[in-house]
Amino acid sequence: MEIQEFFPLDDRLLEAAEQAEERCRDDFAKIEENAAYNGAKVLAAFQKSRVSEPCFYGTTGYGYGDQGREVLDQVVANTFGTEDALVRHNFVSGTHALSVALFGILRTGDKMVSLTGRPYDTLEGVIGLTGDEKSGSLKNFGVQYEEVPLLADGTPDYDAVPEAVRGAKVAYIQRSRGYSLRPALTTPQIERLAKLVRNTNPEAVIMVDNCYGEFVETREPVQVGCDLMIGSMIKNVGGGIARTGGYIAGKKELVQQCAERLTCIGMGKEVGCTLDMNRELYLGFFHAPDTTASALKTADFAAALFGQLGFSCYPKVGEERGDIVEAIQLGDEVRLTAFCQGIQQGSPVDAFVVPEAWDMPGYTSKVIMAAGAFTMGASIELSADAPIREPFAVWMQGGITYTSGKIGILLAAQKLLEQGLISL
């Protein structure tokens, strides 16, 4: 059976796809091996935490004694090897969870140092790098901010870390690349940064933005010396099932501080009804290792195919991955637009929509985004987005099944081919 029965794909493109998949064979085997390990780890955590059907029932009002909420925190903590976790559907995004963590830990006069250059665009207002003088940012509250620029090759400047973190309260690490072409950090790289911080400033809180990175490897940042890691439930850890939410996991005392920022002092983790959200948070987390594997395969296939077509891809096939994101440098706005429109055509939802660049809240440039997803903004589902600025790269992530992810990539290439923007 040929997929051309359902999708009008050029024969030459399908031949190129076969060659691309062959180049991915070794990577796919490794991805599947990691997924098997992580899946076993999650299953063991469910069993250790004594998950039962009553955990799926929601509560209303204050949510006192919510069994499902409390056990889910244990499941995530047991999976990630942390003392505690805060998993809540009312985190509206990864940025929100990160903001809660930063405001929960930092106080007036404290210093925050980013060890991986400028953080993701949506955090600039939180820190106070952009926005109104009275916006309520960390800067407005008297928190100092410094950053260690990345080296020319996009890797951390390890030599500069010890001096930079002297006197810092928070040493901040962004695992994924954001809108840059730098490589995502692997756990060995994060471990190296953590050791450098500990040797110089043992009291510093090492905080990791782990968005897009969960279950990519078999270890997480909190297992290699970091104190807190934060992420979104509509990315890797939600398995394409969670409709909203986020998590903070790490040392118990620090998680409690974050909980008291999310709710209020004196209540912390003890309040917060779960409504009807528990079951999907559990089920999504259970599916997460395999869903992440599908996203990684999709990213690897995209790198192989578009690499063959002459575009620079980050990372390349065979290079170690620290997240599910694939950046493809397409060269101009026309190709960016065609790529995103092709991805949209391969989506299960809103495939008929034609993406256009717009002024997206929290971003400094116009952004074009393809995201025909069951959950709005769910980056674990196949999506592609790009700010309309140099280097005119698109950042693609997700694919809750490899079959759908592969078709989306092929339709993006087909769109470029139809407009004469690539040749085969």
pLDDT band at 143 (very low <50, low <70, confident <90, very high): very high
At 361 the pLDDT is 73
Right CATH for 51-285 from 3.30.230.10, 3.40.640.10, 3.30.420.40, 3.10.105.10: 3.40.640.10
Q: Which long-range contacts (CB under 8 A, 24 or more apart) does 62-67 make?
A: 62/271, 62/272, 62/273, 63/271, 63/272, 63/273, 63/274, 64/270, 64/271, 66/272, 66/273, 66/274
pLDDT band at 121 (very low <50, low <70, confident <90, very high): confident
Q: 392 pLDDT exceeds 80?
A: yes
Are 251 and 82 in contact, with CB atoms under 8 Å apart? Answer: yes
Are 226 and 207 in contact, with CB atoms under 8 Å apart? Answer: yes
Could you tell me the two tokens for 315?
């990372």
In CATH, the architecture of 3-39+290-418 is Alpha-Beta Complex (3.90)
pLDDT average, residue stretch 155-181: 95
The DSSP letter of residue 185 is P
State pLDDT tens for residues 263-306. 999 999 999 999 999 999 999 999 999 999 999 999 999 999 99
Could you tell me the two tokens for 61?
């009002």
Domain ranges (residues) in the chain: 3-39+290-418, 51-285
pTM: 0.95
State pLDDT tens for residues 179-190. 888 999 999 999
Task: Quote the percentage of the chain above a pLDDT of 70.
Answer: 99
Task: Quote the percentage of the chain above a pLDDT of 90.
Answer: 90
Element at 294 (helix H, strand E):
helix 278-308
Residue whose entry in the numeric block shows the structure tokens 């078999």: 218
State pLDDT tens for residues 194-252. 999 999 999 999 999 999 999 999 999 999 999 999 999 999 999 999 999 999 999 99
No. of H helices and E strands in the chain? 11, 12
Residue whose entry in the numeric block shows the structure tokens 């991915």: 24
Are 226 and 196 in contact, with CB atoms under 8 Å apart? Answer: no
State pLDDT tens for residues 323-353. 999 999 999 999 999 999 999 999 999 999 9
